[in-house]
Structures are given as structure tokens and as C-alpha cells.
A = this chain, B = another copy of it.
Amino acid sequence: MNVPPKTVFYTIERTIKSYRKFSNRNFSRVVDDITVDQKLILQYLNSSPELSQTEIAELVFKDTASITRMIDLMVKKDFLKRSINTEDRRKFKLEITAKGKDILSRLEPVIAANRKTAFAGISEEELIQLDRTLQKILSNIT
């Protein structure tokens, strides 16, 4: 017997983990060696190039230590270039490399296709409702 109040978080967890795996699998068909989170960082930097590492950390719900290490790796893989920010020498300037931009453009259609597959047979209204319920939960616990 499944009682949603007792199992909803279980289902949420399962959904997000499955989606991560699903996305990673599809990404790896098009691009080598990039994770969902690295792609997300590229996307954020692409639309807001002035983001600091701390701001990125907030956006992706990780702490700054994780971001430091992820960006180290992304620099090593030549997705990003890190240089000193002369405005505020505590920060860095993060730039997407040509390789990073290429990857991003090749991933865009995959991202769209992933969503389409995931939401097949689910109406816009139903997604709005899903979002609304999750927002309620969020505001209850934060």
C-alpha cells in the first residue's frame, strides 16, 4: 500500500535521480565528458557572463567549495577560462571557451528533446500544478 504523504519524497528523489541519469546518457551521445551540472554552469555563464563563483553556487544549490573544484575541472577540460577580475580582485572572471560554446550549442537540442520526452502526455496545466505544489513544500521548509 502506497500512501503518498509517506512516499512523495521518495518519488521526488527517484524522479530527479532518474532524470539526471537519463540526461547524462543522452548528453554523452553528443559530447564527451560533460555532466548535467557542468552543462548547467555553462548555461548560466552564457546568459549571465558576469556571474561570480559564489553566485553560481547559489544558482545550482551547491557550496562554493564544490564550485571551486568543478570549475578547476572545467578549466582543465578547456570548457572555461578563469582570469582575475580587476574590478574586485577577490573574484574571478569566468569565460566560456570556443570549445565550451560549441558544446553548449550541441547540447541545446538534446536538452529540449529530454524535456519533450520527460513530459510526454503531461499537459502544461499539470506541470504548473506540479510546480505550484513543490513551491508550497519549499516555502514550508525554508
Residues of A with Cβ closer than 8 Å to B?
2, 4-9, 11-19, 22, 61, 115, 117-122, 124, 126-131, 133-138, 140-142
Asked whether A136 and B124 contact (CB < 8 A) given A8-B130, A12-B12, the answer is: no
Q: Is the CB of B61 within 8 A of A8?
A: no
For residue A119, which residue of chain B has the nearest CB? B5
User: Which of B2, B13, B140 makes the CB contact (< 8 A) with A16?
Assistant: B13
| Chain B, Cβ-Cβ closest to A133 | B130
Given the known A-B contacts A4-B127, A127-B8, are A120 and B140 also in contact in the complex, defined by CB atoms under 8 Å?
A: yes
Q: Is the CB of B5 within 8 A of A16?
A: no
Residues from chain B with a CB closer than 8 A to the CB of A130 are 4, 8, 130, 133-134
Residues of B within 8 A of A118 (CB): 9, 137, 140-141
The CA of A131 and the CA of B7, in the complex, are separated in Å by: 8
Q: Are A121 and B134 in contact (CB under 8 A)?
A: no
Given A13-B16, A16-B12, A122-B137: A129 and B131 within 8 A (CB)? no
- Bound CA span A8–B133, Å: 11
Most buried by B among A14, A115, A133, A142: A133
